[in-house]
Amino acid sequence: MANKIQAIRGMNDILPTQSPVWQYLEGTVKDLLAAHGYAEIRMPVVEQTNLFKRSIGEVTDIVEKEMYTFEDRNGDSLTLRPEGTASCVRACEEHGLLYNQTQRLWYTGPMFRHERPQKGRYRQFYQIGVETFGIATPDIDAELILMTADLWRQLGLQDAVTLQLNTLGSNEARAEYRAALVEYLNQFRDQLDEDSQRRLESNPLRVLDSKDPNTQALLADAPQLHDHLDEDSREHFNTLRAILDAAGVKYEINQRLVRGLDYYNKTVFEWVTDKLGAQGTVCAGGRYDGLVEQLGGKATPAVGFAMGVERLILMLETLEVIPEAVSETVDVYVCALGAGADQAALLLSRQLREEHAGLRIQTHCGAGSFKSQMKKADKSGARFALILGESELENGTVGVKDLRGEAEQATVNQSDVGPWLMDALV
């Protein structure tokens, strides 16, 4: 027998038992975004490789080691998107959504990075991303952060996440700081990890991001970015902090938070947790006022974030904060016993759905004994089983059995059963 074909390592199936939690999370986020006036945008999952090289930066983990890049049949270099911001900017620019207007957008979908698969780190993973364009003031930075804080509260995650906040300043301030950092690190060049030695030349701020403990220790006495901040960035940061303070959102200022992509300036932030081991960042973002211009558009202020859906789901599961109702997929299971009952069951179910919006009904198909149908009814998670047998068909009634209670089976007129269920299900 031929070997069975399996999924690509690090690329997961989301099984029917898991999807209710995904839908719950996505639904909660969508409602929250709708309540803030954000609109959805959907981009392709494949783009020209240069889009990511030019935006994320050549000397970053993503572009150096993580991209799924291939030649298509024309010989063009294409890449499976490793993140959404670059695609979103490309799409907005291409369709004229940025000139003389503001945008508040969101998207969700799979992203692809060739990383070592482990808990909370996959090669295909999902992000929900939010991007805003055309607003330079810190109120919008604050709106994004407040919105995420509200999301954690709605999901019951508020006590398990903390906010790390930093400002990267203007390009000029960073250039000045970069010189000071290089001068300092050059003294310890030989003691830095290999990536950091290389980056000291090409992209020294990336050294701050190093996961190597030895490099991190050397950074303890390094010059501080905030000593080189420009006045505008300082004021922007202070206003943002004042809004967060007024809203009661706590944060830690982390001057080494530079994020793994080159396009950020001013505000950067990460929501982190200690519940997921090394994969502790569940949501990350910041301001990228230079990116639109860098990709060929007119200078446009922008700020956004992305959250990792798998990591949030792992948190919901670890903290056991998924509401019970999330896994209840149907309210009613309709059993059909004997001649003509299958047809009657389908028609009754259809009529009930039409008359009672929101009523979730699974109709038994495939015949079988009373016992086996009741087993299926129980497994469906439904609260009630409706039973259509020969005598019910004759009398225009239906048997109603509470699958989660002690009550005896009742008999109800078919014409009354809809309102009866609606009453009982509230």
Interface residues with ligand ATP (CB under 6 A)? 83, 113, 115, 120-122, 125, 127, 260, 279, 281-284, 306-308, 310-311
Closest-CB residue for ligand ATP?
308
Closest approach of Cβ 211 to ligand ATP, in Å? 8
For every residue of 268-322, DSSP letters joined together read: EEEEE-SSSTT--EEEEEEE-TTHHHHTTS----EEEEEEEHHHHHHHHHHTT--
Six token digits for residue 19: 């999807």
Shortest spacing between CB 83 and ligand ATP, in angstroms: 5
Selection from 183, 286, 192 nearest residue 228 by Cα: 183
> How far does CA 241 lie from the centroid of its chain?
25
* 401 SS3 class: strand
CB of 69 to ligand ATP, least distance (A): 16
- Spacing of C-alpha 327 from chain mean position: 20
Instruction: Using only the alpha carbons of the chain, give its radius of gyration.
Output: 27
Q: Output 115 or 230, the one with its CB closest to ligand ATP.
A: 115
**Residue 126 beta carbon to ligand ATP: minimum distance, rounded to whole angstroms:** 8
Q: Rounded to whole angstroms, what are the CA distances from 5 to 1, 8, 9, 84, 389?
A: 12, 9, 12, 30, 45
Q: Which is nearer to ligand ATP, 142 or 314 (CB)?
A: 314
Residue closer to ligand ATP, measured from CB, 260 or 389: 260
Which is nearer to ligand ATP, 240 or 258 (by Cβ)? Answer: 258
Helices (H), 356-389: 370-379
Cα 242 to chain center, whole Å? 27
Contact of 311 with 276, CB cutoff 8 Å: yes
- Give me the residues paired with residue 361 across strands: 332
Q: How far is it, in rounded angstroms, from Cα 35 to Cα 148?
A: 13
Judged by DSSP in three states, 253 sits in strand
State how far the Cα of 58 lies from the Cα of 67, in Å rounded to an integer: 11
Q: Which residue has the tokens 């031929």?
A: 2
For residue 401, the minimal CB distance to ligand ATP (Å) is: 44
- The span from the CA of 272 to the CA of 279, in Å, is 9
CB of 386 to ligand ATP, least distance (A): 43
Distances (CA, A) of 354 to 74, 126, 336, 349: 51, 35, 20, 9
CA neighbor of 86 nearest in space, from 114, 60, 115: 60
Helix (H) or strand (E) holding 418: helix 417-425
CB of 9 to ligand ATP, least distance (A): 12
Closest approach of ligand ATP to the CB of residue 112, in Å: 9
If the CB atoms of residues 290 and 399 are measured against ligand ATP, the closer one turns out to be: 290
Compare residues 306 and 345 and give the one whose CB is closer to ligand ATP.
306
CA angle 410, 415, 420 (to 5 degrees): 50
* Residue 357 CB, nearest approach to ligand ATP (Å): 36
CA 59 from centre of chain: 26
| Nearest CB to ligand ATP, comparing residues 310 and 392 | 310
Close Cβ partners of 148 (under 8 Å, ≥ 6 residues apart): 271, 283, 305, 307
CB of 281 to ligand ATP, least distance (A): 4
Least distance in angstroms from the C-beta of 271 to ligand ATP: 8
Tokens of 306: 């992305």
